[in-house]
Structure formats: C-alpha cells, structure tokens
C-alpha cells in the first residue's frame, strides 16, 4: 500500500475520496467500507471545517466505548455483531488514514482495533519492530506493550513513523503519569527507535531525557525562601564565585549551609536583618542554636559561615561590591576547634568497627562463594527439568512451575525459572536469585581485592583492563586502571589472579550474542550528569535495556549477601557492611602485612598520608615506624634528587623483584621494595599465593606437621606444640585456598 497523505490534508478530504481510499486499504471488505461511510455520514451532522473538528464537536472523545451513541446511534441502540464490526472497522480505518486523530484518553477507553490500524499504517515498520524485538530478546509482554504504545502515538499525532520525535513520546508519558500509571513499553520503544534510525543517533536515552537537570545556584537558593532580596543576590554571587573551584555536590552542600542553616535561621529570629553585620549578640545566639541542636555535622556549618565572612573581607580589597558587604565575623577560631575532637571520636569508632568486621570478612567471602555455587547448581538442575515437572537436587525435591507469558523471558538461550520446595515455601525466581548471588560475589570480591571507592567500582570499564609483560621473563601482569574520582587522581593497580578471575567472569556474563560488551550510560547522582556510553563492567539488565549499576544497587547486593550468609551479631541482627568498610579493611590488612604506608596511599588514591593513616585500624606506633623506615631508606638511596629518572639498574631491580617472588609453594605477593616481614615463614604468611601444582608438596608438609604434632604431644613439648599447631592451621588454609583457585594461564583480556 502506498503511503497516504498525513493530516490535516486527509481530514479535509471529501467524503467520496475517503471512501475511495478506504477500498484500497489492506484487508478492506464491504463491511469495513460500510463502516467508514456510516461514521462519515453521522459526522456530517456536526459543525466543523474538517472531519477532526466534527469528531471533537460530537463529543466522541469523552464518550469512550459509547462513542457510536454520540453520533446518533447509526447502528441502533443495541448494535448487532455486524453493526459492531462495522463501527470497529470503520473507526480503525479512519484513524489509519489520519482522517481522525483521537486523544490518548479515548484510545485508552475505547481500545480500537490496533492490529487493524497497524495493517494500514506503516506495516513494514511494525514488521521491522517485531524482527528487532526477536533479535534483541525482548520479552513478549514488553513487546506487546511497545507496539500498542507505538500505535497510540501514531494514531494521536497523525505523523508517519519517520516524522515522530522524542517529544511525542514524552507527551504520552506525561499522560500516563497524570493518570497514575507507568508508560509500559516506553523504555524499549525509545531504544528501538534509536537503533532503527528513526531517532537521531545523538538523541539522549530515555533516562537522560526525563532525568532531573542540574538546578542553578539561584534555583537551589529559591527553594529555601530567603526574604531579603539584596542578601539573596549577594549569597548567589558569592556561591557563583566559589563554584569555579568546587564540584557540584560540594556546591549543593554549601548552598544548603549558607541559605538554609544560616540566613533563613537569622531571618526567622531577626526579621529586620539586612546585612551580614548582624551584631555579636545575634551571632552568638545563632551559634548556640546550632551547637545545641541534634543535627549531625554542625561544625561544617560553622566552617562555611566563617569562610563566608573571611572571603568577603579578603575580596573587599579588590572589588567595591564586596566592600559594601564586609562585616566583622562573630565566629572565632575557637568556635571551630570542636571539629578536631569530633573527628577523633568518629575515627576511633570507625577503627573499632573495622576491628569488629575484620574477623567476619573471611566468612562473608566464603559465604558469597558458597551461595553462588549453590544457586548455580540449583538453576542448572531446574533448567534441565521440564516446566511442571518435579526434580531432585541434593536430596531435596523441587517443583519447576509453568509460567505465563508475562513471567516468561524470550532472551536467546535463557528462560526465567521459578521453583518451589525445600527451603522455598513459595515459588521463587531462581534465575534472579542466581543473578543476585553472582553480582554480590563479584562486587564484594572486587571491593575486597582493590579497596576502591564505590563510585570507582561502578565506573570500571573493559577499557580499564590491560596487560603488562615483564621484558625478561614474558610473565603477564594484569593491570586495572582506576579513573579519577574524589581526588581527581588516576592510578593503576596490579590485580591478583583471583580478581582477574572475577572480572573475567563478569565480562563473560555481560557480553552480548555478538561477543561485545554493551555500551551503557552511567548517571552520577552527586554531580547530576550522565556519562558517555561506555562498556561498563558492572551493568545489569533492567527489562529491555542494560543499565550501569548505581551505588544503591551495590549496597543492596552487599546487604543481601550478608543475609544469605547468615552472619549475625550478638543481637541476632545481620552485620552491616558498607562498601567503604571494604576500603578500610583493605588498608588495615595491607599495613598489617608490611606494606609501607606511602605505597598504600598511592594504591588508595590518597593525596595525604595522614588520610591513609586514619583509614587503617592499627596502632599509631606501627604507622609512624613504617613511615620513618621508608624515609630513612629514601634518604640513603636518593639524598640529592628525590625525583630523578630511574636508572637501568633500578629498572632491572624492579623486574627482578617479580622473579624473586617465586617461592617453594607458589608466589609471594609482597609489594615491590619491601622485605619479607615473616622471615620467610611462607606457610604462615598471608602474602603467599599457593600454586595448585605444588599441592603434593603441601600435603607432604601437612603430613610431616601431623607427625611432629603427635611427637610433641607424646613427649610433652608444649611450647613447640603451640607453634606446630599454628603452622598446621596455616598449611591447611593454604590447601583450601589451592582448591578454590582457578588456573587462568596467561590472561588474554580483550579490549573493546
């Protein structure tokens, strides 16, 4: 069928011409033509220059399914099946020909024959849409919502598919939200139109188009309702001047402190205040209200207000505008000294928290691995069973449920599996459970092995993985690049084989059928901006699209992992692990293993070594001892130029360090330039990464230790017995570590 002209031309066409065109539609019949004639004849009785105007004048738009009665009941008060068919076919053909453009309310209530409309309204596009849905693995329910949505937009706008724009779909979204309903199918429709070229490739994703925009400084301040306009303008100018050196999240905090906590409080208690020169008594009264309140972080409010007075006093020497606002500060240095005491108290509490969590961390790591293996085994057994069939797994009988089309997934090679039985009293989606177990395992191990911040974790891409080969031996060392975040410092980490294994499995899971990692967009909640599309590693499917995990998703995964592992405190409540706890545990463990604090500061991305010291829950004497030792070595080696170019000898020593890491039972993981703090007692050392090929040798050592333990017990050598038991426990732990390791060979991570 050739493309019909679009409205308003069609709506102004004569009755005879429209009936003639109706006879050329796909699957046209005498009944459909009669329906078109009857509707047009009834509409002729109403005022209007076009058929659309007559339709609006008739009141059909608000009548819903009773629209035929608004036309004077052309098919009778109780239409027969023939009359109902004529009405349905007639109005569907008039919509398909763009003679009538109903509103979304009528389309929802009357539910015309959408299939009939699609047959005569770009049927080739709807065929492409179906092929795209099948190729990308969209569920049948999601695709059904999408084609109905697309039909409604075309029917309402009267546009050809090539003419629709994002604004048309945002209008439909606003209609749905206005009636308290979600616009089902819109996410897939939006991405599909971009991929099929209907939308321009530069069109933002749906989340970006509907996401909250950054409010300006003035907009943020206006939310607090400052009454005095000159003061409001002055604060806005001050914040705009400071904004150049601040990130957006800090700027939002500063607006809140100065506008809400400072000036709005002043206006509430001193309505006549018109400048910053509020007087000593009024200033001290405000200070007392702040200090006596229950709000946490009150000292940072004092710092913000004191900085305001000091900045204006400094700028007043160069700019006459600020000279008019300069005033003596009622806050002194003594008023902010309590911040140091508060920081020390908070740091002590955090150190105690880390000491409490450190013994529990191995249980959490082991629990996540066990839960993942259990979930994968159950999913495999359930997948092998037919829907509606009982199956046995590890001595427990389960039932795999038959799903309806809304619960079924059409992803290529996958299907959602629901089971009941065993510990599951109600049916459970074990496909989703396995997904949750996997991502909990992946995120917890990545945080534990790297000590990265949560925002750095979700920003890891496949582009951040690289391989460095030692020139002499050709040994491949996997590296992970951490992009700048909080301190804008980029760093590269040498990752362990365990983490390489984790990241390889993550990449394998997210790779699409074409062998590529999908590009996704990440929303930065702190800066309120969207990133460019990148191959992020930590991404998951949400309906018909993939989205980068948010910090909130990561926190939920950790909470779920703790609950599944059954790790509870003395009160019977699950322990609370946060993503930043792993960063502090990483720092504490690294320092306890002998890693110099200056190297740890580089690994964690800290600008100041004092910050690193605050992270690690160790004694101050240990921290200072390591740091002084580092300074002594550095001064002895480089007394003249601390940042000279490395010599060939130093480079050779760096390469030889990795060769010297080879020990009897595996590889030593101590950092470059650090001595062995355990006097080569490798079997007890946590830095030893055992080689699975050395398992027979380790079993011989365990057997020999058992013999020595029995001899020591028989001869009463209690002092030696204690040391033997420590070595035996450590050796058995190394053996279990061997069993859990995966032999990766030389990593061949492909960049995309």
pLDDT tens, position by position, 91-120: 999 999 989 999 999 999 988 899 999 999
**Which tokens go with 314?**
């400094």
- Please tell me which residue, 635 or 467, carries the higher pLDDT value: 467
Q: Which residues contact 264 (CB under 8 A, 6 or more apart)?
A: 224, 225, 226
CB neighbours (10 Å) of residue 641? 7
Q: Residue 7's pLDDT is what?
A: 43
Q: Residue 724's pLDDT is what?
A: 85
Q: Residue 632's pLDDT is what?
A: 67
The alpha-helical segments, DSSP class H, found in 229-279 are 229-243, 248-255, 265-269
Q: Which residues contact 660 (CB under 8 A, 6 or more apart)?
A: 668
pLDDT at 190 over 70: yes
Give pTM, 2 decimals.
0.71
Q: Averaged over 278-301, what is the pLDDT? A: 85
pLDDT at 311 over 90: yes
- pLDDT class of 4 with cuts at 50, 70, 90: very low
Q: Residue 3's pLDDT is what?
A: 41
pLDDT at 8 over 50: no
Place of tokens 């004639």: 37
Query: 333: which DSSP letter?
Result: G
Between the ranges 51-65, 151-165, 693-707, where is the mean pLDDT highest? 151-165
- Burial string for 384-404 (b: 16+ CB within 10 Å, else e) reads ebeeeeebebeeeebbbbebe
Q: Averaged over 648-675, what is the pLDDT? A: 71
pLDDT at 425 over 90: no
Query: 414: which DSSP letter?
Result: -
pLDDT at 523 over 70: yes
pLDDT at 9 over 80: no
pLDDT at 643 over 60: no
- pLDDT class of 439 with cuts at 50, 70, 90: very high
Q: Residue 201's pLDDT is what?
A: 76
Q: Residue 540's pLDDT is what?
A: 84
**Which tokens go with 316?**
């007043």
pLDDT at 6 over 50: no
Mean pLDDT value across the chain: 83
- pLDDT class of 685 with cuts at 50, 70, 90: confident
Please, is 11 exposed, middle or buried when counting C-beta atoms within 10 Å of its C-beta (0-12, 13-18, 19+)?
Answer: buried
Q: Which residues contact 61 (CB under 8 A, 6 or more apart)?
A: 55, 102, 103, 105, 106
Rounded Cα gap, residues 610 and 605, in angstroms: 12
User: How distant, in Å, are the alpha carbons of 34, 56, 176 from that of 79?
Assistant: 14, 23, 32
Are 622 and 653 a contacting pair, CB within 8 Å? no
Place of tokens 């002194």: 332
**Which tokens go with 63?**
């009548």
Are 322 and 316 a contacting pair, CB within 8 Å? yes
Are 206 and 187 a contacting pair, CB within 8 Å? yes
* 3-state secondary structure at position 557: helix
Any long-range contacts for 116-119 (C-beta under 8 Å, 24+ apart)?
Answer: 116/27, 116/88, 116/89, 116/92, 117/92, 117/151, 117/154, 117/155, 118/147, 118/151, 119/25, 119/26, 119/27
Rg (CA), the chain: 35
Q: Which residues contact 501 (CB under 8 A, 6 or more apart)?
A: 742, 744
Q: Residue 411's pLDDT is what?
A: 45
User: CA triplet 343, 349, 354: central angle to 5 degrees?
Assistant: 120
Q: Averaged over 186-193, what is the pLDDT? A: 90
Are 422 and 497 a contacting pair, CB within 8 Å? no
- pLDDT class of 5 with cuts at 50, 70, 90: very low
Range name among 127-141, 589-603, 733-747 with the lowest pLDDT average: 733-747
User: How distant, in Å, are the alpha carbons of 220, 374, 541, 559 from that of 379?
Assistant: 50, 9, 18, 22
- pLDDT class of 477 with cuts at 50, 70, 90: confident
Q: Residue 343's pLDDT is what?
A: 77
Tell me whether the omega of the peptide bond preceding residue 650 falls within 30 degrees of 0, making it cis: no
**Which tokens go with 218?**
């003035």
Q: Residue 440's pLDDT is what?
A: 95
Between the ranges 147-156, 343-352, 603-612, where is the mean pLDDT highest? 147-156
Biggest CA pair distance of the chain: 116
Rounded Cα gap, residues 143 and 141, in angstroms: 5
Rounded Cα gap, residues 150 and 749, in angstroms: 41
Q: Averaged over 405-419, what is the pLDDT? A: 60
Rounded Cα gap, residues 518 and 495, in angstroms: 24
pLDDT at 748 over 70: no
Rounded Cα gap, residues 551 and 542, in angstroms: 16
Q: What is the pLDDT of residues 349-366, one digit of tens each?
A: 888 888 888 889 999 999
Residue among 381, 297, 302, 289 nearest 335 (CA)? 302
């Amino acid at each position: 069928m050739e493309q019909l002209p679009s409205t308003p031309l069609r709506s102004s066409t004569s009755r005879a011409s429209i009936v003639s065109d109706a006879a050329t539609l796909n699957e046209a019949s005498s009944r459909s033509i009669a329906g078109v004639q009857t509707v047009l004849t009834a509409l002729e009785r109403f005022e209007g220059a076009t058929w659309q105007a007559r339709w609006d004048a008739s009141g059909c738009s608000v009548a819903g399914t009773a629209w035929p009665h608004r036309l004077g009941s052309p098919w009778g008060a109780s239409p027969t099946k023939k009359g109902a068919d004529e009405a349905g076919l007639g109005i569907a053909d008039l919509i398909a020909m763009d003679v009538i453009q109903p509103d979304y309310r009528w389309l929802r209530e009357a539910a015309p024959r959408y299939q009939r409309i699609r047959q005569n309204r770009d049927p080739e596009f709807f065929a492409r849409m179906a092929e795209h849905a099948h190729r990308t693995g969209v569920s049948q329910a999601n695709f059904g919502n999408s084609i109905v949505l697309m039909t409604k937009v075309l029917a309402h706008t009267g546009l050809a598919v090539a003419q629709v724009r994002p604004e048309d779909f945002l209008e439909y979204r606003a209609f749905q939200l206005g009636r308290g309903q979600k616009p089902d199918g819109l996410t897939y429709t939006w991405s599909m139109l971009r991929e099929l070229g209907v939308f321009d490739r530069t069109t933002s994703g749906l989340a970006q188009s509907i996401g909250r925009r950054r409010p300006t400084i003035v907009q943020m301040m206006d939310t607090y309702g400052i009454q005095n306009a000159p003061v409001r303008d002055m604060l806005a100018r001050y914040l705009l001047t400071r904004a150049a050196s601040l990130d957006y999240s800090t700027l939002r905090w500063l607006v809140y402190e100065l506008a809400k906590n400072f000036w709005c409080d002043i206006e509430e208690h001193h309505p006549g205040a018109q400048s910053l020169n509020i007087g000593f008594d009024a200033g001290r009264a405000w200070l007392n209200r702040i200090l006596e309140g229950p709000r946490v972080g009150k000292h940072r409010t004092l710092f913000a207000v004191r900085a305001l007075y000091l900045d204006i006093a400094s700028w007043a020497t160069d700019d006459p505008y600020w000279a008019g606002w300069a005033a003596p500060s009622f806050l002194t240095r003594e008023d902010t000294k309590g911040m140091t005491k508060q920081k020390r108290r908070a740091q002590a509490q955090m150190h105690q928290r880390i000491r409490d969590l450190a013994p529990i961390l191995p249980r959490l790591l082991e629990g996540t691995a066990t839960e993942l293996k259990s979930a994968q085994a159950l999913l495999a057994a359930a997948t092998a069973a037919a829907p509606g069939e009982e199956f046995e797994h590890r001595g427990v009988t389960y039932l795999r449920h038959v799903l309806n089309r809304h619960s079924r997934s059409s992803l290529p090679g996958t299907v959602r599996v629901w089971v009941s039985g065993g510990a599951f009293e109600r049916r459970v989606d074990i496909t989703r459970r396995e997904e949750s177990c996997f991502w909990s395992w992946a995120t917890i191990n990545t945080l534990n092995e790297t000590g990265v911040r949560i925002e750095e974790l979700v920003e890891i891409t496949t582009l951040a993985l690289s391989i460095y080969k030692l020139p002499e031996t050709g040994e491949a060392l996997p590296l992970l690049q951490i992009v700048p975040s909080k301190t804008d410092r980029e760093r590269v980490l040498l990752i362990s084989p365990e983490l390489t294994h984790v990241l390889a499995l993550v990449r394998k899971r997210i790779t699409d059928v074409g062998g590529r990692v999908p590009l996704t967009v990440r929303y930065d909640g702190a800066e309120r901006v969207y990133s460019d599309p990148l191959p992020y590693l930590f991404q998951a499917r949400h309906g018909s699209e993939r989205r980068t995990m948010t910090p909130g998703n990561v926190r939920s995964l950790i909470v779920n992992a703790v609950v599944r592992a059954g790790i509870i405190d003395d009160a019977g409540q699950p322990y609370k692990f946060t993503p930043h706890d792993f960063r502090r545990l990483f720092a504490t463990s690294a320092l306890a293993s002998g890693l110099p604090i200056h190297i740890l500061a580089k690994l964690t991305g800290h600008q100041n070594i004092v910050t690193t010291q605050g992270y690690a829950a160790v004694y101050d004497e240990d921290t200072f001892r390591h740091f002084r030792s580092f300074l002594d070595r550095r001064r002895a080696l480089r007394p003249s130029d601390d940042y000279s170019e490395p010599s060939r000898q130093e480079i050779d020593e760096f390469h030889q360090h990795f060769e010297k890491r080879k020990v009897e039972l595996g590889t030593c993981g101590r950092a470059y330039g650090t001595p062995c703090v355990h006097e080569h007692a490798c079997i007890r050392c946590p830095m030893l990464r055992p080689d699975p090929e050395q398992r027979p040798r380790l079993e011989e050592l365990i057997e020999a230790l058992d013999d020595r333990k029995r001899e020591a017990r028989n001869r009463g050598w209690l002092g030696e017995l204690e040391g033997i038991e420590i070595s035996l426990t450590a050796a058995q732990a190394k053996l279990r570590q061997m069993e859990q390791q995966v032999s990766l060979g030389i990593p061949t991570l492909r960049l995309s």
